[in-house]
Amino acid sequence: MNYKVFAPADCKVSIELPTSKSISNRALVINALCNDAIPAEHLSDCDDTRVMQRAFTEGGNLIDIHGAGTAMRFLTAYYAQKKGHECTITGSERMKQRPIKILVDALRSLGAEIQYLEKEGFPPLRIRGKKLSGGSLSLPGNVSSQYISALLMIAPYMSNGLTLTLTGELVSIPYIEMTLGMMAHFGIRASRTGHSIQVPAGQYRPTPFRVEPDWSAASYWYEIAVLAPEAKIKLPGLSADSLQGDARIAELFQPLGISTRFTPDGIELSKSDHTEKKFYECDLSEQPDLAQTLVVSCCLTGIPFRFTGLQTLRIKETDRISALRDELAKLGYTLTASDSSLEWRGDMAETAPHPSIATYDDHRMAMAFAPAAFRVPGITIQDTSVVDKSYPHYWDDLHKAGFSLSSQPKGDNTL
């Protein structure tokens, strides 16, 4: 289904955000490794987390994770160490184009038995689980943090634990810190010194755990606050001491004129008196999932920008750098892209009539472009069900906030 989206005159609303899929998926892996685990509370109700849950509850020899990149990386590591268990992990056609060689090579060096079933370096995989030796391992620090987190979470169950050295530039460090923080909560205290992480051999301890709301989901409400003529948005449950690196969104949107007030119940967003930025330059290597929201927000508020540290965006659900450039061109914005950056110097072209935004099977494309309805009334968002990956009730929440959503047949991308 496609939606034509019309924005309200203002936005004054309280929204219950989904819980974090990043935290939920880590909790599921740790619980699966833990004897007599205590089920985590408030797990995310999104596609990525449901895929993980099914893999652990249904078992079986064929696991289809569809488009869930986190599940592919985490489950590959988990089943590699599950002694005596054999399985095949596959996914969508896009998943079969997303590289996994770095993780597979790392696991093989630790003793894993993994076979590529189609294209070398890419899913699907055949895994024969066995006790891994562990020891010392080096990985480039600029690879997906999901590879690193996958290895860290299973490291206590390796015979010799794991000393992981990250070489070169480090990206997505907050996601690694999230993993280490959760491991500590369940009784495994790793130590990190610079680029080196030491994880002792051991076992996780069954411990109660509650998943917090998703700061990445909050970013779309920051964007709405920027674009709405007036805004007062309450987001219960978010706190300043979050495990999530994307909590930095509060800082990143301050120069765009949005203030964040932390309360005992959550946060409140409102417009500040002025916008500070005439040109916005920022390294997003530690918060790559916020790139789409910030890029669209800056374009629609007329703030030229240069965002760097985006190298991991090329291997996400889609090539997000190309997708942003191509879809914003429909709105008249001419962006310059490299392998790790996006830049807009204020160049404008003619807006496409009745713009229809392709989402590329990427939840964040849909959610980042829907608020553009404040500037482009009736903008069409294609394949709206993609939001199920992380924020299943996104469209319901927009409706609650006063947005009008007009359903269009899926094949009708011109109205």
pTM, two decimal places: 0.89
Here the CATH number for the domain that contains residue 280 is 3.65.10.10
Same domain, 251 and 349: yes
Question: What is the per-residue pLDDT for 334?
Answer: 95
Question: What is the per-residue pLDDT for 99?
Answer: 93
Report yes or no on 151 lying in a domain: yes
Same domain, 7 and 45: no
Report yes or no on 208 lying in a domain: no
Structural domain span for residue 135: 21-199
| Neighbouring residues of 300: CB distance < 8 A, sequence distance ≥ 6 | 226, 227, 331, 372, 374, 375
Report yes or no on 414 lying in a domain: no
Final residue of a structural domain among 199, 233, 263: 199
Same domain, 333 and 315: yes
Enter the tokens of residue 392: 């299943």
Question: What is the per-residue pLDDT for 277?
Answer: 67
| Neighbouring residues of 191: CB distance < 8 A, sequence distance ≥ 6 | 197, 198
Question: What is the per-residue pLDDT for 350?
Answer: 81
Q: pLDDT-based confidence at 274, cuts 50/70/90?
A: low
Active-site residue flag, 64: no
Same domain, 63 and 96: yes
Contact 392, 21 (CB under 8 A): no
Same domain, 112 and 96: yes
Report yes or no on 205 lying in a domain: no
Which of the following is catalytic: 289, 362, 383, 397? 289
Same domain, 251 and 193: no
Same domain, 166 and 233: no
Question: What is the per-residue pLDDT for 36?
Answer: 83
Average pLDDT, the chain: 94
Asked if pLDDT for residue 145 goes beyond 60, the answer is yes
234-257 mean pLDDT: 95
Question: What is the per-residue pLDDT for 275?
Answer: 63
Asked if pLDDT for residue 412 goes beyond 80, the answer is no
If one counts the domains in the chain, the total is 2
Question: What is the per-residue pLDDT for 408?
Answer: 81
Report yes or no on 204 lying in a domain: no
Same domain, 293 and 344: yes
Same domain, 7 and 109: no
Q: pLDDT-based confidence at 347, cuts 50/70/90?
A: confident
Q: Which of 14, 396, 387 is nearest to 231 (CA)?
A: 14
Give the sheet arrangement for strand 86-90, strand by strand. Answer: 62-64, 86-90, 125-128, 113-116
CB neighbours of residue 265 within 10 Å: 13
Q: Determine the Cα–Cα distance for residues 348 and 352; give it in Å rounded to an integer.
A: 12
Same domain, 346 and 397: yes
Query: How much of the chain, in percent, has pLDDT values that exceed 90?
Result: 84
Asked if pLDDT for residue 2 goes beyond 90, the answer is yes
Give the tens place of pLDDT for each residue, 35-62.
Answer: 888 999 999 999 889 999 999 988 789 9
Report yes or no on 413 lying in a domain: no
Q: pLDDT-based confidence at 415, cuts 50/70/90?
A: very low
Least trusted range by pLDDT, from 44-48, 143-147, 256-260, 275-279? 275-279
Give the tens place of pLDDT for each residue, 292-303.
Answer: 999 999 999 999
314-326 mean pLDDT: 86
Question: What is the per-residue pLDDT for 414?
Answer: 44
Report yes or no on 49 lying in a domain: yes
Final residue of a structural domain among 199, 225, 241: 199
Final residue of a structural domain among 199, 230, 247: 199
Report yes or no on 75 lying in a domain: yes
Q: Determine the Cα–Cα distance for residues 221 and 11; give it in Å rounded to an integer.
A: 10
Same domain, 180 and 253: no
Same domain, 108 and 160: yes
Give the tens place of pLDDT for each residue, 60-106.
Answer: 899 999 988 899 999 999 999 999 999 999 999 989 999 999 999 99
